[in-house]
Amino acid sequence: MNKVIGITISAVLFMVSMSIDPIKGFAAASNEVEPISISIDPLSYPTDENSARIKKILLNTNKYGLTTWWDEEKNFDDQGKGYLDFGGRDESDIRHPAAMSLGLATSLSFKVYNPSYIGVPESEAIDHTSQLVSSLAFHHRANSQNGWGNRWQSAHWAYFAGFGGWLIWDDLSKENQEYVRKMVEYEANRFIDYKVPYWKNAGGEVLFPGDTKAEENAWNAQLLQLATAMMPEHQNWHAWMNKNIELMVSSAATPMDLTNSEVVNGKEVREWVKGSNINDDGTVVNHGFIHPDYMEFIAFNNTSGIHYTLAGMATPEAAFFNSDLVYGAYVEHSFSSPPFEGAGGTIYKQNSSDIYYPQGNDWGTDRRMQFATLDIFADVFEFDSSLSRGGSYWEPLHAQKVLDMQNRHSDGHTYASYMEDTYDGREEWVAHHAAWALMAKWMKNDPALKISEKSYGPTYERLSGKDRFETSVEISKEGWGSSETVVIASGEDFPDALASAPLAGKYKAPILLTNHNHLPGSVEKELVRLDAERIIIIGGTSAVTDEVAEAIRDLDVKVSRIDGSDRYETSVNIAKYIGASSDQAFLVNGKTFPDALSVASIAGKNGIPILLTKKDEIPPSTQEVLEQVRSITLIGGENVIGKNVEQTFPKATRIAGVDRYETAVKVMETLQPGAKTIMVSNGGAFPDALSGSALASKLNASLVLTGFNDIPDATLNVFKRNSIEHFYLLGGENTLAAHVPLSLLRQ
């Protein structure tokens, strides 16, 4: 893979399918839209033949859009001057008008609109475009009850309308500006806790047969690009930007990227990705076959360069990740026939506008505008530099084909028949691609582009399920593709499970939670997925019944149990089971869980036993083991482990804060200084932190505690004083409120 990051571009100066509920309640004065900061000079658009061709293509889409499309196909004139009724909330109702709005807004804002050619006065074009954008925003559910939005692909539609609105911002009323802002904000907030999908997981298993998530991830990233460019002071900005980068990198991730140590915006690629969405050769599978049309997804990432330049901001280098690989697959990857169709060869054909579809084509014979746009991006952003024939060679071949098709029609539309492009939004699709192409041409000729390699602060992920049992499964999935050993603990009471982290650490095993007398179905499925061979149950039958043990044995795995006469003896027996040395031990109060959990990940990683005590008395079973240990560390203040217990072991050390939250921080700072990964758990609930302790041990992460809603100063200071790269939230929004991660990101 040729590195496209930190490149020197000679032509451009480097200067300045699921429902996702949005996080709510973050509108504030700081969330205002910043109008486009770059001054667009009407004389700055290039006048060379290729640029003039793109301008003509865009103007043709405007001509069609303001005449035949507006007056006859949509009958918008019949609706008067109010908010337009689009007839529904589906793709054909919303996406296509939104795409057309971007084409119109681009011509107007970049001052290439030509009323004499189009036959519509510029003032009327502005009115129609403003009405179109405002109506799309008004009907979004952020502004209208039961409106469109919050569905698969709706971020894509909101992007078109939102970008169009930003381009003509001063032509919108204050009310309609707010509608546009709220639409973009709403859709962006949907992705704050979004779990990024992959075509294949890290083990190579196909998760979505025949349907890569490259395009989907890239168009969702595009909405976040727009949101971060439009609202640079928004309090969710860092969450949006990091999710944008994750989506862009993931969209172009290959199987080899799972081990790729190249750093992109502050993290190694292998730390950004959890699967793959494209093949190692740069090709993309969609609709069940290698599909050249869907390889164009990189253009959605590349538009970052346009959005951030218009905002006077730097473009994250992730915008061009693997763009050279994918574009190179168009130009130089050769397909042999058989097994591939026809004569084989490369997708792009020298001296021809033809496109080779190696496994067939279901979108018609004459789609070219996306290829012309991508050719321009390859040339402007120079991810074609290693190719024998770059974008500047291919662009005129593909773009002239589009213009020739348009020249067949007096109203400027492109297609003459359904078979040329079977997509029902084909004309609007040409319009938005032509808009991107024109803006990229302008960028090459006039403004300065700046590419940033910097980190945008810590990234985060929420690991949660509908209950504590499913949350333990999600934590397991995050850390383990398979595991020979699994630790099972009660999810209903904590005492026996408190000391289980070192056991999980010894076997590099996840901790899954169960009901007292019933094995949850989600946990059973996870045991099967992990291909576990040995299950260790923690605690006696009062914690986990024999019925649960039998249900696990029915999965054809070996089951053993570690227990004791009480919680104290159970912790001792765990220490004996793992064969802990006599060098070190952590001593915690067995009647409360926070202090034990704060040290669990460190104990698990280092194989140090966690032993339980009473506040003012050491149980005999614990005393017997401690007498053989050379180094004892008490976790917690004198309100949980009394002075008389400490005096029993004069050489013991104590790590304690004023409360459980500060104690967890002091444990981290004392025993694991400089940690880059953090687990954040509710300090008033044990289950999620218990499961998370095994993952923290595996990832060499520290655990800190917070309240459901309020974040203690001690925990906030961890994020202020340390260079945290990534943190996990353990549990859903009923455990840790939606704003908690956003507050941590702002430290």
Domains of the chain from N-terminus onward: 42-452 (1.50.10.20), 459-745 (no CATH)
Residue 147 has pLDDT above 70, yes or no: yes
Q: What is the pLDDT of residue 581?
A: 66
Residue 424 CB contacts under 8 Å (≥ 6 apart), including other chains = 92, 96
In angstroms, the CA 96 to CA 161 distance is: 10
Query: Taking residues 9-18, what's their average pLDDT?
Result: 32
Q: Are 165 and 130 in contact (CB under 8 A)?
A: no
Q: Tell me the pLDDT tens digit for each residue of 236-260.
A: 999 999 999 999 999 999 999 999 9
What phi and psi, each to the nearest 5 degrees, are found at residue 207?
A: -95, -30
The mean of the pLDDT values for the chain is 93
- Assess whether pLDDT exceeds 50 at residue 4: no
Q: What percent of the chain has pLDDT over 90?
A: 88
pLDDT tops 90 at residue 285? yes
The 10s digit of each residue's pLDDT in 121-136 is: 999 999 999 999 999 9
Average pLDDT over residues 85-113: 97
**Residue 145 CB neighbours (<10 A):** 5
Question: Is 736 exposed, middle or buried, given 0-12, 13-18 or 19+ CB atoms closer than 10 A?
Answer: buried
Place 27 in a pLDDT band, splitting at 50, 70 and 90. very low
Of the pLDDT bands very low, low, confident and very high (cuts 50, 70, 90), residue 15 is: very low
Mean pLDDT for 682-698 is: 92
SS3 category, 504: helix
Structure tokens at 567: 């919680």
Model confidence over 535-583: pLDDT tens digits? Answer: 999 999 999 999 999 999 999 999 999 999 999 999 999 999 988 666 8
Cα–Cα distance between 328 and 313 in angstroms, integer?
A: 28
Three-state DSSP at 628 gives coil
Residue 29: pLDDT band (50, 70, 90) is very low
**Predicted local confidence at residue 552, as pLDDT:** 97
116 token code pair: 């004499």
Mean pLDDT, range 370-394, rounded to an integer: 98
Report field, pTM of the whole predicted structure over 0.85: yes
- Reported residue count of the chain is 747
**Which pLDDT band, with edges at 50, 70 and 90, does 24 fall under?**
very low
Residue 659: pLDDT above 50? yes
pLDDT tens for residues 426-461? Answer: 999 999 999 999 999 998 876 678 999 999 999 999
How many percent of the chain have pLDDT more than 70?
95
Q: What is the DSSP letter of 685?
A: -
Cβ count within 10 A of residue 521:
10
Q: How far apart are CA 293 and CA 330, in angstroms?
A: 10
What's residue 38's pLDDT? 79
End-to-end C-alpha distance for the chain, whole angstroms? 36
Find, among 569, 575, 649, 571, the residue nearest to 607 by Cα: 575
pLDDT for 2 equals 37
Where are the strands (E) in 638-707, listed by range? 653-655, 677-682, 702-706
Q: Can you tell me the mean pLDDT for 699-710?
A: 94
Q: Give me the pLDDT at residue 580, please.
A: 66
Mean pLDDT throughout 215-235? 97
* Segment 161-177 mean pLDDT: 98
Q: pLDDT grade, residue 11 (50/70/90)? A: very low
Dihedral in degrees, nearest 10, Cα atoms 692, 681, 688, 737 = -140
Q: Give the residue with greater pLDDT, 511 vs 42.
A: 511
Angle at CA 275, nearest 5°, toward 269 and 280?
75
Q: Does 324 score more than 80 pLDDT?
A: yes
Mean pLDDT score, 29-51: 84
Phi, psi (degrees; rounded to nearest 5) at 536: -115, 115
pLDDT of residue 8: 30
